[in-house]
Amino acid sequence: MSSRRTLRAGVALLCAWLALLTLATGGRAQVDGLEDELAVRLPVRLTAGHSNHLMASYSDTNDALYFVGDEVGTTEILVQSPPSSAPVRLFEALGDHAFPRVSPDGRRIAYLSFVHDAKGDVCVRNLPNGAERCVTDDETAELEVIWLDEGSQLGVLSRRDLHSGFVFQAIPATGGAPRTILQRDMIGLSRSADGERLAYVAVEARRPEIGVSFASRVGRGIHVVPLGRGAEGARPAVFVPDLPGVSGFPAFSRDGRFIYFSQYLNDTNRDGVIDGRDNSVIARVGFDASRADPFEGQTLEQLTSSRWNCHYPAPGANRLQMTCSHGGSLDIYALPLDGVVPASWDLTRLRAELHVARDRWAQLLVASRLLVLLPDAAERLSALQEVVALHLDLREYESAIYYAERLAARAGAGTAMGGWAQLMDNLARHRREDLALARGQLSRAYVDSERARLAAVRALCPTGSGAGGPTASSAAAPPSPADTCALSLLVASELLDDLGDKAEALTTLDRLRSEHVTGLGDPHTLRLYGAFAARFYGHLADREARVSAQAALAAHPALSVQERIVQALDVVTELTRGRAREAANAALQQAHASAPAGGELALMLEVELALRTLLDPLESSADERELGDEAGRAAAVRRVEEAARERLFALYTGDQDTDRRRAIALRTVQFASRHGSEYLQYQFATTWASGVRAEAPERRYAEELYRAIVLERAYGELHENDLREAAGYFFQASRNPGMLDAHVGFIEARAAQGEDVRAFYDERFARTPDEPAYLFARAYLDARELPAVPRTEAGDQRFAEMVSRCLTWIARVDEALPRDVTLHQLWGYVRHEQARRERSRVAAAEANHHYLLALDLAQTRPRAQAALLQALGTLQASLGNHRRAVEHLERRARLPFTRPEAQLAFHLTMARSLFHARRQPEAVAAAREALTLLEAHPELRRHRAMVLDQLAFQLARQDEHAEAAQHYELLLTALEGEDDTPVNRLKALIGLSAERLSLGQHERALQSLDQAGALLRAHRDIRSRPEGSLLDRYVYGHERYEALLAGLRAEALVGLGRKRDAEEALARRSQLLARFFEESDSDDDLLPLAQVCLRRAVVARAEGDLARARTQLEQGLAHVALFNERTGSVVTDVSQGLLVQLAELVLFEGVSRTATSVDIEAQLAAAYAFMTRFPSPRWRRDRLRLELYLTLLRLRAE
């Protein structure tokens, strides 16, 4: 295989997940892993970051999203205005806050504050930045707050003490006496939009002798009462959802036609109790206020799956906001008001979507909607069967039990369907009991209960039932007595297996396989049998029995074509697992010879045999001379691929069944991805995508597969610098809607060829100027030009206009494609460029927000992940958040690099951030890797000065001074090229001087300092600041460099014994530092002043001028005292040096204690006490010295 194709094959593995996901559809789809984004809508994430965000409250008036976040440890109220922007604190406060509620008129916000009262206060602020006004006192504990009108009356739920009941009162927003509305134990309050009704969830004490606040449990259902004067005595309307579990957090829709709520369906945390600690789904029920019972005849709809674990529904005018725990943190998400399954889908569409959905969670939501809409009773029972089976597969045992009981009740206990439901009930309960063992249930109790269950299960096999004749698959066909008896044997076998009776379990399963399976007609029973047989025979390492069981299912008429294909693929996998190529091929050929002709098993075996010709050694089909060069080898590979393609294409065109064609195409793509055949990948992805009807649900999957394959081919051509071919493939992919990454690739490829891309897009979308792809392309083309805009007044104006234009277009695209990775990446990039240009931390926060949103969406796109992690690392480093930068960059390091330039930038950024994160050995290693990479790639030589500078700096910080000096000398040589600017050479000379001083090379250090001084005098406009920093600190101008050189020069002169000259240099440094402090009034300039006093004192002591030394030490301590007063510091390294020098003057040089203006004993005692109370390894030697000097001073005083 050619090196070019090998490279592409490795990259093409990135899309193998899609083919695998697609092929897992049949009998059952995946439980865990990535969501099937193409089956149903997925929630759109609105908040980003590593912390939690919850309790959303949206204001239509302000277009602002208010919520609680815990970035700083306490919970604070944040706002995103508009919701697509980055969060900012609504106000500063030290303490926790909860339940923000913006008033309907958008003018005020109410919330619970725990800052001054640990039991909670209700407080109000005028928006956007009014002062806090709390309307309750510390006599009560506030639990919730809502608005009772547009913005003047609050409804507050509170209690007096731990054992008292709850009281709901009306309180003016401006403060005043409360008015009691209800005395009722309830939580989760919501007022209807017209202000006439209150929805809540009732709570009750777990025991009558204790208060509801001490230990409570949630009652069943949603309660609604009128809010008028007679509310206390009014009888609530109660809705108990036809769902397992408990309900919470009701919320009226804006139009009053629905109540949204959370439903805790299952014991997802496996603690044995369904409560608020378990995963929740969002549901809604119709509400008709004109009826006596507003819930009568209303439909219940489940809007999310428990996989997303969503709470706190907050319906707005156009979309639903909610808090979901997905991916490790709580965040605010949004959905259309009708949830993940559109309400517009009719029965035909729902059935079609159920057929193609890739994961069980999506299947369950579609099946649940079908269950509500099906008009025929028999079809509803069949749909209920599907729901039971799906919940069991998802390990949601409480839901499986709940729906199995409903199915048994509706079908009747004496029917086969009723018996089937009872068996599923027992199977779910058994699996739940298995989990109870992990919580400490006694094994004896488990064995007794499961043996009793085993007897009950065996009794459910109807007398005289046995194998019947096989029946074709039918969605509405109920189980027969034979199916029920077979399921009884299957459940019994699983019970026996878990009880440890493996022999009896095997006998029962073998009996089921030999006597019953062929006559079964219920697909659910057959699926359960297939899954258990694969697991059980797999544990026994009985390959023959496992293959036999699954081969029988692959030919079973009761299963659909799609399900038979999946069983056939399982047979193929088992036959080849762990076998060498020849042995695997022989096993496949033997199985093919005995497989029923024309069946799914024979088809998939033939497909596999055709594909495995790609694994045959090339030597078997080409002579040695042909394989001697790369071109000949590539030709031989292509012949093998073409022969396989012809064989597979004949199978594809010769079969008219859609599911079988789909299996051929997708298995080919999957195998080709794994084994490096880009040619077959592309051929069959294209064939399948073009063969699916545009209106078919499967079309979405075909287009996504096509996008992945074609884009990888395009990137391969781009890597090979074949720009024309790359542009062609990108263009093909961009013709499918919503593929913004294809447009990026096309623009870059065409721009690299010198084409006028703007004109091309203007012509392409002339008739559809509002097309999201065109708006995105315009924004992207503008964004590409942002770094090159001149930094002039006119350029700044043009830059601002371009940013504004980009953001407007991006926001419009976001309305159509809110979950697009490339869109949020571009959004972040534009804000990042704005932050760089304007040194705006607000823009940086916006960039970070959108980068994180894009990263969350890029789970299956490593190329996008790599770019985003690099961008995040660079952004956080520019803000000084180097530990967070290192986190992003370490994740980036686990992904491949496609360009040496990108890898070099990564190593340099990583080295800088590791240094600031105090991980110096790793920083040196990163800088060394940068140099190694540069030397391996001659095209990177223009970056040599930058790399040498970074490595020299990092070596110096690790005290490897000799090597650091060598690299600074190499840097000075490298700077003779285009990087030789005055400031660069000055920095290199300063670095070299410092390293020579560290090595004791004082004369050589003085020489380099002389060169630096001459350079500084020749260029009085020298000015620099940290590259890429958004902090705008430590701007070095001419005098700053002069002060730095003076300090280094003094050290060199001291080393040469020229103490008088050193004093002059230090005096100049002190003069400059004093001027800096006078101009800046910055604490950062105080300690350097103290430090230079210390050095002048040391020089004075060496000259024997004790009076001058004492004066300098007193001045230095005065600077330290001011620094401590301004910053709250007690001990610093400089203060320690000053105190030690002054104590030595008194103790060893004969200076009288009364001659100093400093109480040396008191200051030593204070410093020693602080060091003792807050010990630090770096202070250990100083602490011992202070203790000794303090003792000597006290002894002399006595």
Q: Are 18 and 688 in contact (CB under 8 A)?
A: no
Nearest CA-CA partner of 186 in 216, 161, 208 = 216
Closest of 78, 197, 98, 202 to residue 145, by C-alpha? 98
User: Parallel, antiparallel, or unpaired for β 216-218 and 258-264?
Assistant: unpaired
Residue 797 has pLDDT above 60, yes or no: yes
Label residue 1146 exposed, middle or buried (CB < 10 Å: 0-12, 13-18, 19+).
buried
Tokens representing 404 are 């199995």
Q: What is the spatial distance between Cα 1162 and Cα 1068, in angstroms, rounded to a whole number?
A: 32
Task: Tell me the average pLDDT across 1034-1056.
Answer: 90
Q: How far apart are CA 492 and CA 512, in angstroms?
A: 11
Dump pLDDT digits (tens) for 756-792.
Answer: 999 999 999 999 999 999 999 999 999 999 999 999 9
Above 80 in pLDDT, residue 229?
Answer: no
Look-up of token digits 């399982």:
570
pLDDT of residue 277: 81
CB atoms within 10 A of CB 758: 14
Which DSSP string corresponds to 418-469?
HHHHHHHHHHHHHHHHHHHHHTT--HHHHHHHHHHHHHHHHHTS-TT-----
Helices (H), 237-297: none
Is the Cβ–Cβ distance between 1108 and 1095 less than 8 Å? no
Q: Considering only CA atoms, which of 374, 373, 494, 387 is closest in space to residue 434? A: 494
pLDDT surpassing 50 at residue 1113: yes
DSSP, collapsed to helix, strand or coil, labels residue 905 as helix
First to last CA, the chain: 92
Our measurement of the distance from residue 1130's CA atom to the centroid of its chain's CA atoms, rounded to an integer in Å, reads 42
Helix, strand, or coil here: 868? helix
- Taking the C-alpha atoms of residue 222 and residue 220, their distance in angstroms, rounded to an integer, is 7
**Between β-strands 179-183 and 166-172, what pairing exists: parallel, antiparallel or unpaired?**
antiparallel
Instruction: Give the whole-angstrom CA distance, residue 650 versus residue 672.
Output: 17
pLDDT classification of 19: cutoffs 50, 70, 90? very low
* Token representation of residue 609: 């045999």
Rounded Cα distance, 800 and 1043, in Å: 38
Give just the sign of the alpha carbon dihedral 65, 69, 75, 80: negative
CA atoms within 13 A on the CB side of 224: 27
CA distance 647 to 547: 26
Query: Residue 97's pLDDT band (boundaries 50, 70, 90)?
Result: very high
The predicted pLDDT at position 230 comes to: 66
Dist CA 1114 CA 433 (whole Å)? 78
Closest CA to 361 of 395, 337, 328, 335: 395
pLDDT digits (tens, 9 = 90+) for 659-679: 999 999 999 999 998 888 889
pLDDT band for 20, please (50, 70, 90 cuts). Answer: very low
Residue 21: which pLDDT band, with cuts at 50, 70 and 90? Answer: very low
Tokens (6 digits) for 594 = 């005995």
- Above 70 in pLDDT, residue 523? yes
- Confirm whether pTM is higher than 0.85: yes
Helix (H, G, I), strand (E, B) or coil at 289: coil
Asked whether 1092 and 1066 are in contact (CB, 8 A), the reply is yes
Residues 6+ apart with CB under 8 A from 106: 59, 60, 61, 62, 64, 127, 151
Identify the weakest region by mean pLDDT among 3-7, 185-189, 820-824, 900-904: 3-7
- Residue 463: per-residue pLDDT: 55
Among 260-274, 547-561, 1069-1083, whose mean pLDDT is lowest?
Answer: 260-274
By the 8 A CB rule, do 467 and 487 touch? no
* Structural contact between residues 705 and 669, judged by C-beta atoms closer than 8 angstroms: yes
Residue 810, both tokens: 């991006």
pLDDT score, position 23: 47
Contact 1037, 1022 (CB under 8 A): yes
Averaged pLDDT, 208-219? 70
pLDDT in tens, 471-502: 555 555 789 999 999 999 999 999 999 999 99
> Cβ atoms within 10 A of the Cβ of 1121, count?
15
The Cα 505–Cα 495 span in angstroms is: 8
Picking from 136-150, 432-446, 670-684, which range would have the lowest pLDDT averaged per residue?
432-446
Structure tokens at 197: 């009704």
CA distance 591 to 260: 55
Q: Specify the residue for token string 């101009």.
A: 1079
Dihedral sign for Cα 211, 215, 220, 226, please.
Answer: positive
Average pLDDT, integer, range 357-385? 89
Q: At residue 465, does pLDDT exceed 60? A: no
For residue 596, whether the previous peptide bond is cis, meaning omega lies within 30 degrees of 0, is: no
**Is residue 1195 packed enough to be buried (19+ CB in 10 Å), middle (13-18) or exposed (0-12)?**
exposed
CA dihedral 586, 592, 595, 596 (to 10 degrees): -170
User: What is the C-alpha to C-alpha distance for residues 634 and 46, in angstroms, rounded to an integer?
Assistant: 49
**DSSP structure class, residue 619:** G
Mean pLDDT score across all residues of the chain: 90
Q: Which of 146, 125, 143, 126 is nearest to 134 (CA)?
A: 125
CA 80 to CA 64: how far, in whole Å?
6
Residue 467 has pLDDT above 70, yes or no: no
CA distance 1182 to 395: 62
- Half-sphere exposure (Cβ direction) of 950: Cα atoms closer than 13 Å: 29
- CA–CA separation, 710 and 732 (whole Å): 8
What integer pLDDT is reported at residue 211 of this predicted model? 65
* Average pLDDT estimate for 1162-1172: 92
Contact in structure between 90 and 102 (CB atoms under 8 Å):
no
Task: Tell me the mean pLDDT in the region 205-218.
Answer: 69
**Tokens 């009288």 sit at which residue?**
1152
Least confident of 229-243, 441-455, 1108-1122: 229-243
Please spell the DSSP secondary structure of 717-752, one letter per residue: HHHTT-HHHHHHHHHHHHTSTT-HHHHHHHHHHHHH
Q: Measured between alpha carbons, how far is residue 427 from residues 32, 392, 430, 487, 734 in Å?
A: 21, 9, 5, 10, 49
The one-letter code for the residue type at 681 is Q
In the sheet that 319-325 helps form, which strands lie side by side, from edge to edge? 44-45, 330-336, 319-325, 310-315
697: three-class secondary structure by DSSP: coil
Q: What is the arithmetic mean of pLDDT over 275-287?
A: 90
For 767, residues 6+ apart whose C-beta sits below 8 A from its C-beta are none
Q: Name 543's Cβ contacts closer than 8 Å, sequence gap at least 6.
A: 537, 574
- pLDDT band at residue 546, thresholds of 50, 70 and 90? very high
pLDDT at 731 over 60: yes
Domains of the chain with CATH codes: 44-340 (2.120.10.30), 1015-1164 (1.25.40.10)
Q: What is the DSSP letter of 175?
A: -
- What is the model's pLDDT at position 630? 76
Q: What are phi and psi of 963, to 5 degrees?
A: -70, -35
Q: Give me the mean pLDDT over the 419-438 stretch.
A: 91
Average pLDDT over residues 1052-1063: 94
- Token pair belonging to 793: 């007044």
In terms of Cβ atoms closer than 10 Å to its own Cβ (0-12, 13-18, 19+), residue 1145 is buried
- pLDDT in the model for residue 22: 46
Residues 334-354 as b/e (b if ≥16 CB within 10 A, e otherwise) read bbebbbbbeeebeeeebbbbb
* Per-residue model confidence (pLDDT) at position 818: 95
Band of pLDDT at residue 411, cut at 50, 70 and 90: very high
> What's the average model confidence in pLDDT over 961-986?
90
Residue 8, pLDDT > 80, answer no
Q: How many CA atoms lie within 13 A of 26 on its CB side?
A: 30
Position 1 scores a pLDDT of: 38
Q: Of 739, 700, 664, 55, which Cα lies nearest the Cα of 362?
A: 700
Give the model's confidence band at 469: pLDDT under 50 very low, under 70 low, under 90 confident, else very high: low
Is residue 1071 within 8 A of residue 1092, CB to CB? The reply is: no
Amino acid at 200: Y
Q: Is the pLDDT of residue 25 over 50?
A: no
pLDDT, residue 357, reads 85
